[in-house]
Amino acid sequence: MTTSAQWQRTLDAVLALAEDIARISPDCADRAMQIIKLIRAVDPPPREAGDRGLDEDVDDDLDDLNVGVGPLHRNKTPDRV
């Protein structure tokens, strides 16, 4: 089973590759942007701890936690010179 962190890293890697393709090959920029839009469309909605089928005796405070994968917002780093 894929963890949330693995899911996020995979999506971030695909976004980074698509951005590189768009930057390196202007002829492919439209397709790369389509990939980026598709990846952002699969961004899962936040899930509540109670939605995971946890045991009834789990601490009630867990119900207030969001444990799903977060939105796709990569930290932008400046391009190397």
**Can you give the pTM of this predicted structure?**
0.49
For the chain, domain boundaries: 4-64
pLDDT of 9 above 50: yes
Return the percent helix, strand and coil in the chain, to nearest 5: 55, 0, 40
pLDDT band at 7 (very low <50, low <70, confident <90, very high): confident
Query: Could you tell me what percent of the chain has a pLDDT over 70?
Result: 49
pLDDT in tens, 16-45: 999 999 999 989 999 999 998 988 888 666
